[in-house]
Structure 1
Amino acid sequence: MPLPRLIAVIDIGKTNAKVVLIDAETRSQLAARSTPNTVRRDGLYPHMDVERLWGFIVESLKALHAEHGVDGVSITTHGATAALMAGNRLALPVLDYEHSGPEETGEAYGAARPDFAESLSPRLPVGLNLGAQIFWQSRVYADRFAEVTDILMYPQYWAWRLTGVMANEVTSLGCHTDLWAPDASAFSSLVVNEGWADLFPAVRPAASVLGPITADVAAITGLRAGTPVTCGIHDSNASLLPHLGQHEAPFTILSTGTWAIAMTVGGDTGRLDPLRDSLANVDAFGRPVPTARFMGGREFDMLAPGAVAPDADDIEAVIAGGIQALPSFVPGVGPFPQSVGRWTVEPETLSAGQRTAAVSLYLALVTEACLGLCGLGREIIIEGPLARNTLFAAALGRLTGAKVSASGDATGTSLGASMLFGGPAGSSSGTVIAPLEHAGFDDYAERWRATI
């Protein structure tokens, strides 16, 4: 089968969902449609609005095919999410991982979950450990859980809706789930001891073609019969994929969106701290990748509403004035999970540019702390929205001494997901950002570290 050229990527982030059309030959984005990824509050518990998303997906595929043509479909989604299937329907709603329900069985789950040495997955709050979600659902909704025939990771749920074929895949299984043992490349003791192993369909490579679209999907979208669909991939690993084999290890990819996720390829998992939200992700080839993260995009939106690009005067006012944000404004995650976020000044007294400057420096300092856990690569390549924040990148370069580049691939995770079909290898490191040159920034950073 010839490689598809025009690839529609279903890219479901925690905050927004997109369908992006990628030209595989030019590695460019031709068109995109997006919608907020809303959480429904009705029913048993807060859950993902999968039917609204499905409607958005098929309408987007239909429109993109009519406008440009679609030769293949690939999928990437956020992690910590699974679909519990009873045959061809959901046995339970797709749980929102930010729901606190799994804390109800937290003590029992803590005794049942595997050690960090096995899973390389730390104990995380709410439903961020997917194993904690399934454990809670199996206890609180035992009758419904008894109907479960298959457990699908979130990318593979959408692949199933498109193809009718069920599968699983390691990047989502290995995303702080407690379900996977990365060094053994096998399901963890939790899965075995809970008797869940038979509920997981076969593990397939992310880059495999799971199947063609169903006749029903072809009819409602207009896509040709036989349009291939990939198995799919976890979104952070989609950002990582274009860079594998293209840079001298160790190197760091900083994938940004709702989360800022630092992944150091060729790094040492021995420095990971399970109490500070550092872990091993599993790349598309099944290899552990030391990772540390925090909710950088969420915090930026919280702390810098109405953000504007700061000018030199804004940056000077923030650094000279010692204006700082201190972690963490999203509790329980990141390298400072027990710290309560605060400002050193009243933020309402700042201009929009000053506030944006202070938050950009804050994100750079938290990222530096993450790199102390997952390892600092010879170079840092920033993917996603923070690649457009020049002050953040410049500050990170000054803090680490590493070469920092803002990715030239504006399509972010979507480009990586499109590469599951193959095609041209390699990725540009993007634009090199010069380190921040400000006489007072080193002292500013040292005061921040001393304060926290």
Structure 2
Amino acid sequence: MKQKVTAVFDIGKTNKKFFLFDKNFKEIHKEYISFDEILDEDGHPTENLPALKKWLQKVFNRILKEKEFKVKAINFSTYGASLVHIDKDGNPLTPLYNYTKPLPEEIISSFFNDYGPKEDFLINTGCADLSMLNSGLQLYWIKKTKPEIYKKIKYSLHLPQYLSYVFTGIPISEYTSIGCHTALWDYGKRDYHQWVYKEGIDKILPPIVSTETSINMNYNGNRIKIGVGIHDSSAALLPYVRSLRKKFVLISTGTWSIAFNPFTENPISDNTNNNDVINYMRINGKPVKASRLFLGNEYKIQVQKLNDYFGVNDDYHRNVKFNYDTYTDILKDFKYCHKWIGLEDENMPNETQIIHKSYEGAYHQLMTELVLLQNKCVEKAVGNDTISRLYVDGGFSDNDVFIKLVSHYFRDKKLSTTNASLGSALGAAISISDTKLNSKFLKKNYALKKHVPFIIGG
């Protein structure tokens, strides 16, 4: 008897992963690969889309032939801000432009001459900056600078939907991909922004469906439910939204730490100077207010400096546990000691000063300053909404000093950590399943752990 499974391709910028989950969403198979980037026509590095497509088909066809598993469903989660432009035969017309590629200044100026003012535009579309990271502007750029290619575009597909298209041949759009700072969506109108219609770009954007949509089809002689794909950040949020009854903010930590508020009453930030408040969308089109901090990146840089200064090995920081006395010493004559490399903060000094004699003291100082920034980030996501629960997942969820400090600063909220190493892949599997999740799900699948703030001495 073959085991029934759901297959998920989880495509990150670096690692491309493939998972099989059983009916209880337990991982029973995993494999991954990474490809060297290729260059686009301007010499900018980008995803090797042909290699990715070939790998998807090869892996899936191999799994279908195996005696062990019966694949009932497949879905796709990928990074966002990426479009694949296909012709009438379904072939990509351009490289998969990297969201780090700069947009020409004259294109941005031209765009705002037509559709400004900039501040109003950013507020309405929930975007933070204007670059290729706002993937909708890529279509404007192609239309203005590569008209011969633009004329051949039959459909422009967000990356998760392109992967689904590889298997179904059916072009579609869905909310989570449209909603991730693409500059396409007007959050006030809950529709594409007027510029999309004025430029006629809506004609090459396929029909919008709910992210929970799946297509039942015969694939190579197998009856399979094929999902429409999901943006990875929204996928990582989904198991929480589905299993928790009370309002919460999720702090998903890693290179970027992103605080997600899926219960916002005020999705649109009116502070256009704040590049780090952005919007996402839930699978049903409801807005998610998010605030980001380049936390993991800064942590890596600053820890390396501490390691070099104190002459310790690269893994030393992993074993530092929270020490109450060390922390209270720091607070006595608290001063900001770190000049950030990738973060902006009005409190930071012109130069980093290490004022502690021990590595542990210096590490507590660093974490206190980083957590103060993390708190501001969370407060921006919470806004005026009443939220009493925080969940932390990702790389910092098992950092004892970080968690104790976050718990301390948010002592009015209940803080839990989860070990969501499968985050976006599991979310993609859940989004096409009919299974109802309950509050035990996070305990069973995500090693849910509650944290109590430390007691402040008299």
TM-score, reference length from structure 2: 0.80
Q: Identify which range, 394-403 or 100-109, moves more after superposition.
A: 100-109
The 1:113/1:291 distance shift into structure 2, 3 A limit, reads: farther
The percent identity for this pair of structures is: 21
Q: What is the alpha-carbon root mean square deviation over aligned residues?
A: 3.5
SS of the residue 1:387 aligns to? coil
Superposed, 1:293-308 pairs within 5 Å as 293-304=292-303, 306-307=314-315, 308=317
Residue equivalent to 1:311: 320
Residue equivalent to 1:412: 423
Instruction: Tell me whether 1:431 sits opposite 2:442 in the alignment.
Output: no
SS of the residue 1:156 aligns to? helix
Q: Identify which range, 419-428 or 90-99, moves more after superposition.
A: 419-428
Residue of structure 2 aligned with 1:399, choices 409, 422, 427: 409
Residue of structure 2 aligned with 1:91, choices 90, 93, 102: 93
Residue equivalent to 2:307: none
Residue equivalent to 1:449: none
Residue equivalent to 2:284: 285
Residue equivalent to 1:251: 248
Instruction: Verify the 8 A CA contact 1:261 1:292 in the aligned structure 2.
Output: yes
Q: CA deviation at 1:168?
A: 0.5
Instruction: Tell me whether 1:160 sits opposite 2:160 in the alignment.
Output: no
Deviations 1:181-231 (A, max 9, x none): 23433111121122101000111111111353754xxxxxxxx52322101
Amino acid at match of 1:31: H
Q: In structure 1, how many angstroms separate the alpha carbons of the residues matched to 2:33 and 2:300? A: 17
Instruction: Tell me whether 1:39 sits opposite 2:37 in the alignment.
Output: yes
The 1:50/1:271 distance shift into structure 2, 3 A limit, reads: closer
Q: Identify which range, 303-312 or 373-382, moves more after superposition.
A: 303-312
The 1:282/1:92 distance shift into structure 2, 3 A limit, reads: same
Superposed, 1:189-338 pairs within 5 Å as 189-212=194-217, 214-215=219-220, 225-244=222-241, 246-269=243-266, 272=269, 273-276=271-274, 277-304=276-303, 306-307=314-315, 308-312=317-321, 320=329, 326=338, 329-330=341-342, 336=344
Instruction: Verify the 8 A CA contact 2:339 2:352 in the aligned structure 1.
Output: no
Instruction: Verify the 8 A CA contact 1:206 1:420 in the aligned structure 2.
Output: yes
Amino acid at match of 2:79: H
Instruction: Tell me whether 1:344 sits opposite 2:352 in the alignment.
Output: yes
Q: Identify which range, 198-207 or 288-297, moves more after superposition.
A: 288-297
Amino acid at match of 2:277: S
Aligned length: 422
Q: Which stretches in structure 1 are left out of the alignment for 5+ residues?
A: 216-223, 440-452
Instruction: Verify the 8 A CA contact 2:336 2:349 in the aligned structure 1.
Output: no
Residue equivalent to 2:124: 119
Q: In structure 1, how many angstroms separate the alpha carbons of the residues matched to 2:253 and 2:335? A: 24
The 1:74/1:398 distance shift into structure 2, 3 A limit, reads: same
Q: Which stretches in structure 2 are left out of the alignment for 5+ residues?
A: 305-313
Q: Which has the higher Rg, Structure 1 or Structure 2?
A: 2
Superposed, 1:1-40 pairs within 5 Å as 5-23=4-22, 25-36=23-34, 38-40=36-38
Amino acid at match of 1:311: V
Q: In structure 2, how many angstroms separate the alpha carbons of the residues matched to 1:40 and 1:436? A: 50
Q: In structure 1, how many angstroms separate the alpha carbons of the residues matched to 2:234 and 2:451? A: 24
Residue equivalent to 1:221: none
Superposed, 1:138-153 pairs within 5 Å as 138-153=143-158
Q: CA deviation at 1:96?
A: 0.6
Q: In structure 2, how many angstroms separate the alpha carbons of the residues matched to 1:294 and 1:155? A: 25
Q: CA deviation at 1:238?
A: 0.8
